Chains A and B, each alone.
Chain A
Amino acid sequence: MPAVSKGDGMRGLAVFISDIRNCKSKEAEVKRINKELANIRSKFKGDKALDGYSKKKYVCKLLFIFLLGHDIDFGHMEAVNLLSSNKYTEKQIGYLFISVLVNSNSDLIRLINNAIKNDLASRNPTFMNLALHCIANVGSREMAEAFASEIPRILVAGDSMDSVKQSAALCLLRLNRTSPDLVPMEEWTARVVHLLNDQHLGVVTAATSLIITLAQKSPDDFKTSVSLAVTRLSRIVTSASIDLQDYTYYFVAAPWLSVKLLRLLQCYPPPEDTALRSRLTECLETILNKAQEPPKSKKVQHSNARNAVLLEAIALIIHHDSEPTLLVRACNQLGQFLQHRETNLRYLALESMCTLASSEFSHEAVKTHIETVISALKTERDVSVRQRAVDLLYAMCDRSNARQIVAEMLGYLETADYSIREEIVLKVAILAEKYAVDYTWYVDTILNLIRIAGDHVSEEVWYRVIQIVINRDDVQGYAAKTVFEALQAPACHENLVKVGGYILGEFGNLIAGDPRSSPLVQFNLLHSKFHLCSVPTRALLLSAYIKFINLFPEVKATIQDVLRSDSQLRNADVELQQRAVEYLRLSCIASADILATVLEEMPPFPERESSILAKLKKKKGSGKLPENVNGNAELHAEEPAAANKASPPPPTEVLALNPTPPAAAHSLLVDVFSDLSAPTAVAEDHLSRFVCKNNGVLYESQLLQVGLKSEYRQNLGRIYVFYGNKTSSSFLSFSSWVSSSDVLKTQLNVHAKAVEPVIEGGAQVQQVLNIECVTDFSDVPVLNVQFRYAGTLQNIEVKLPVMLNKFFQPTEMTSQDFFQRWKQLGAPQQEVQKIFKAQHPMETDAAKAKLLGFGVALLEGVDPNPANFVGAGIIHSKSAQVGCLLRLEPNTHAQMYRLTLRTSRDSVSQRLCQLLSEQF
């Protein structure tokens, strides 16, 4: 083929590239490129038409220049021209240029699409392939729009070549990934599934990739693929390797296809059909058997391919989780890999075992490998493998081996890599809590944890230990003794000081009998750490001191001296200063009884899910841990419960010193940590403003603004609530819901849509509340808002202005009608009359506006006295409609009003009268 090789050579291009490569400096390169660009421009500009060869050459050069990082702003037209050439090489370069340099230039896109269309219709397989590759490479929305309907047809057409089908399947996969909405698959589903039966293994491989993606989106449509996949898999697995010729890779039959089929099967539960099921089991057994055979080749590719299939099969076994024998065999197989000298294999084995451990069938089998895993933890050189070992230990832990595992993890923690320390700390804390039979062991473990890796112990961990100590009477004395001993170490971590301060403050009296830990010794020990600590810890220690005053009156003078010193009373930090001042005053003024009440021992905390677990989950969510690694049967059971909780339990609550704080030190004692105590403000004063108004600001504080916009139609209403973050930092775990009294719940349906859990600083989010009035009501629902700002939990309760009059529908009627109805509603309980003093200036226009806002229609010329107001309306509720007539008689001399209401229901009359009378 001498002619072709000459055509392919493109000597000019080769010379140009070698020139560029030989350039000594950047400047020289730019010069050479400028020269070449000028040359190409003059060639493209030239009057005589270029032949295909030179066009291809120049387009190639432009492509090369573009890939070097220079802008190309011409030549697109020539590239598009190349697309219509009949020579493969020219077409190829044209498509290459388009794939690399295409932009959404409208007129060119049309030309390109046209060329692609022609090629797709050309029946020449190479051209069709080029066109399909181009579509897949560009993969833009425009491409998807133009060809989404065409490609499935090519894919399933009986006369398409195998290679074209292969490309079409992959092209469709790509379009499906980028713009799934544009690719309609419904009508093709059955025929695509049948591609699994295709004779050509390449087509099957490509089709499997496509089906996996589609099946993940709509599993039901592709259910039929399961049986085909199993059949195909069993044919591959049982085949002699000669059958598949091209698709045998280092003695492994079609490894890629096998892996993909196994993945596809993982999208579905185990097949129902027993025959199919046994066939699949047989396949999996064969794969496991093959792993036992001696390797057929020493090459690494052989073992890689074999292990890939094996691991995928194990993943499927774990996914099905129904065949105990298979699970145990898989576990044994992985156990062998645990000692393999290949690091990657050990990693994969550990990872798969983590998921295996969560299965009830194989949990015990996994546990037999504990020694190997522990030794892996100690000896592995790669930190990621060690991390997997930690995960696996966590997953295989249960009551029987918890002590051993926790001890090993603690031991490892001292030498652990910094990147995984925090996670190990959390895991140790959780395991210790979960499997603690005896709480002294738990306290020891956590204190050890703080000692070894104090920096990595998050707040949640030590909050938790305090919660548990307070809730368990039996360990309090032991805990006090242990922390006292731990604090005696010359250098101890700040977290230990916190725990120590808190526990001694609460239970120091339990060990005060021992002269070695007399009150003064305890106090001096704590105070020796005081100056080395940060402000929050110091604040906590001050609280501990005031508790000491209560517990041990004998050290009162010493502590008062400390509080009185300038470094406390005049501390630059406001929080510390305030605490010192207030505690000092409290200790001076209050009698022993009051002190004892104020500084009472903490009541037990309500039992709740461990906040540590929530933290670990959060870490998992951030992608540090694969989702299924930590699976433990018990853990999984807990997860949904946690998900239901809107937010993790607030850590500040854990530390509240006293549940019933006296007014004197209200904001201080509620909460040891934060100066921003969480106020539960029920804002009511704004409520009456909303009787005659639908929009406005409902609540406003320094942090948050809540605005309302509401609309009502008949018995339905919709309220848009706007939450505006007025600070510059974001609100975390934001949630809001509406609560109603039990009576109100039957009268009014309120449905609140969920809001985003995070509000960025300065941002606003909207929540929609749908309201339905079932029957007349007089209570008001309450809007609860909860969020975390700067580490403190904020709670806000606001009454939601949903009143009966909101469901008013005004009615116009004549004077005659009005009086007729007025008389009909003459029963004494139907009429309500109220005479009250005006609170606002008595202006006619204002009063009119208020009545209109209230919801009634104002009737002119009904009342003989023009100064009086007369109105009518109907209140809509789901159960009934209540007609309503009202009359308001102002008396300007006495500054009084007389309001008369007649409705068909007495409760409605009462409520409306009450609402309206407040407005004047």
Chain B
Amino acid sequence: MIGGLFIYNHKGEVLISRVYRDDIGRNAVDAFRVNVIHARQQVRSPVTNIARTSFFHVKRSNIWLAAVTKQNVNAAMVFEFLYKMCDVMTAYFGKISEENIKNNFVLIYELLDEILDFGYPQNSETGALKTFITQQGIKGQFQTKEEQSQITSQVTGQIGWRREGIKYRRNELFLDVLESVNLLMSPQGQVLSAHVSGRVVMKSYLSGMPECKFGMNDKIVIDKQGKGGATDDAAKSGKQSIAIDDCTFHQCVRLSKFDSERSISFIPPDGEYELMRYRTTKDIILPFRVIPLVREVGRTKLEVKVVIKSNFKPSLLAQKIEVRIPTPLNTSGVQVICMKGKAKYKASENAIVWKIKRMAGMKESQISAEIELLPTNDKKKWARPPISMNFEVPFAPSGLKVRYLKVFESKLNYSDHDVIKWVRYIGRSGIYETRC
């Protein structure tokens, strides 16, 4: 179990230090600073073992969060907790920065006391936490006895993530499918590795204690239905179904039901939350194709030509496109010509950055650059790092489709049809690289 939790700034000064167990000594704080933050070489592993003590760390901008333990804990659990901790802090005071942490340190200690007990993670649902840990100081005198007892029953009860008696005039539901597509492609256009990691994020403003059911084009579900129901239906939807490699759910989803029937049913928390996370590796729609062409002219010149092709419906528009072409370390000058967008040589990053605001599907665009090189002493050859790309497209590259989201509330008088539902798909680039 987690023995303690430390937060450091970029210099390694301790901002927050909370020790949960006696086996963690005072020197653990310094051990992490000396061996990780001030380490001579770059720290690659997120888990560091120093003197039989394990340190798990994540970094948010310039802030280090480190969980420390002497026991053999589940590392995935610790990291999940650290991420959750970041989410909670972001929900409370926005961006995690040294300034914000210093300004809210009382709040952070209060949160740490609540979400971790003797090193065991507790309820870390932001919505629930916000009911009893507030930034506005003590509201004791305004809170009625009733409300207090309600909080107690909710926190200790079966559905800790939702309080009772929520009422909305308009019952609304927002569903976002956010995906990031990762790719590594050879110069010849061969896919070396590709996967999509996606999240389904929901914002629910529903009254009472509604029971929801979420359906998507999961291959297993569709196949099962196909067997039971009409065959033509299966044939029609078979093509669109997707194979999900693995998925995780928010705590509100009834896992037993998912295991037996593979249906996703739940009582949603109020407000924004992440319903599920998933990953697919098959039949990915790659939104862009990058075709690089690099020619070395003598020892002092390099010619680069890069073509990008968009590969989706012409009616859709990709946004925020950015292509990053690395340049050799001995570049002394760059001339760039591009038809569309803006391109610039950024010396501080050793790359040519080409930005295009918008681009429709089934189009192509190209850039060419001449790079002048300075002759150097060592014969080391340039390693030719891959060309990377960033973009945003309004569809899910994995092919995931939301089939339905049904809402049942038996006690209150609104039905599935009265709920206003919005669905949005956003596909972003993760690490999207092409070798050159």
Contacts and interface: CB of A to CB of B under 8 A. Distances in A.
Contacts of B330: 41, 73-74
A25 interface: yes
A298 interface: no
A38 interface: yes
Interface in B360-379: 372, 374-378
A45 B333 contact: yes
B380 to A, nearest CB: 8
A579 to B, nearest CB: 41
B372 A45 contact: yes
A42 B332 contact: yes
Interface string A184-211: 0000000000000000000000000000
Interface in B331-377: 331-333, 347-350, 372, 374-377
Contacts of A35: 347-348
A282 to B, nearest CB: 57
A110 to B, nearest CB: 14
Contacts of B350: 34, 38
Interface of A: 24-25, 31-32, 34-35, 37-39, 41-42, 44-45, 73-74, 76, 105, 108
A39 B10 CA distance: 28
Contact of B332 (A24, A45, A73, A105): A45
Nearest to A35: B348
A42 B374 CA distance: 8
Interface string B1-30: 000000000100000000000000000000
A73 B10 contact: no
A300 to B, nearest CB: 34
A73 B377 contact: yes
B377 A34 contact: no
B62 interface: yes
B332 A41 contact: yes
Interface of B: 10, 62, 329-333, 347-350, 372, 374-378, 380
A74 B347 contact: no
Contacts of B372: 45
8 shortest interchain CB distances as A-B pairs = A38-B347, A45-B332, A35-B348, A31-B348, A41-B332, A73-B376, A35-B347, A41-B374
Contact of A39 (B347, B375, B380): B347
A147 B380 CA distance: 32
Contact of B374 (A31, A45, A105): A45
A138 to B, nearest CB: 17
Contacts, number: 47
A25 B62 contact: yes
A80 to B, nearest CB: 12
Contacts of A108: 377
Contact of A24 (B10, B348, B374): B10
A76 B377 contact: yes
B349 A24 contact: no
Q: Majority SS of interface residues in chain B?
A: loop
Nearest to B375: A74
Nearest to A34: B348
B97 to A, nearest CB: 11
Contacts of B329: 37, 73
Given A41-B331, A41-B332, A42-B333, 12 more contacts: A25-B62, A31-B348, A34-B349, A37-B329, A38-B350, A73-B330, A73-B377, A73-B380, A74-B330, A74-B374, A74-B377, A108-B377
9 contacts: A24-B62, A32-B348, A34-B349, A37-B347, A41-B330, A73-B330, A73-B376, A74-B330, A74-B374
A232 B305 CA distance: 78
A34 B332 contact: no
A54 to B, nearest CB: 15
A37 B330 CA distance: 9
Contacts of B331: 38, 41
A25 B378 CA distance: 29
Contacts of A44: 332, 374
B10 A34 contact: no
A31 B349 contact: yes
A45 B333 CA distance: 9
Nearest to A76: B377
A42 B300 CA distance: 12
B42 to A, nearest CB: 9
Nearest to A38: B347
A287 B10 CA distance: 58
Nearest to B380: A73
Contacts of B10: 24-25
A31 B380 CA distance: 22
Contacts of A45: 332-333, 372, 374
A666 B349 CA distance: 79
B215 to A, nearest CB: 44
B349 A74 contact: no
A73 B62 CA distance: 31
Contacts of A34: 347-350
B377 A105 contact: yes
A105 B374 CA distance: 18
Contacts of A31: 348-349
Contacts of A39: 347
B376 A74 contact: yes
Contacts of A41: 330-332, 374
Contacts of B375: 74
B228 to A, nearest CB: 56
B331 to A, nearest CB: 6
Contacts of B374: 41, 44-45, 74
A34 B350 CA distance: 7
Contacts of A24: 10, 62
Nearest to B61: A25
Nearest to B377: A73
A24 B62 CA distance: 9
Nearest to A107: B377
A25 B62 CA distance: 8
A298 B322 CA distance: 72
Contacts of B376: 73-74
Contacts of A38: 331-332, 347-348, 350
A32 B332 CA distance: 16
A38 B330 CA distance: 8
B330 to A, nearest CB: 6
Nearest to B40: A69
A564 to B, nearest CB: 46
A76 B375 CA distance: 11
A184 B10 CA distance: 57
A105 B347 CA distance: 28
Contacts of B333: 42, 45
A697 B372 CA distance: 67
A563 B342 CA distance: 94
Contacts of B62: 24-25
A39 B375 CA distance: 15
A108 B376 CA distance: 13
Interface centre among B331, B332, B372 (most CB of A within 10 A): B332
A725 B62 CA distance: 57
B381 to A, nearest CB: 12
A575 B370 CA distance: 80
Nearest to B379: A73
A227 B376 CA distance: 57
B83 to A, nearest CB: 22
Interface centre among A34, A38, A41, A73 (most CB of B within 10 A): A38
A270 B377 CA distance: 57
B164 to A, nearest CB: 47
B318 to A, nearest CB: 28
A103 to B, nearest CB: 8
Nearest to A103: B377
B241 to A, nearest CB: 43
B95 to A, nearest CB: 15
B431 to A, nearest CB: 18
B59 to A, nearest CB: 10
Interface centre among A35, A37, A44 (most CB of B within 10 A): A37
A88 B62 CA distance: 44
Contacts of B380: 73
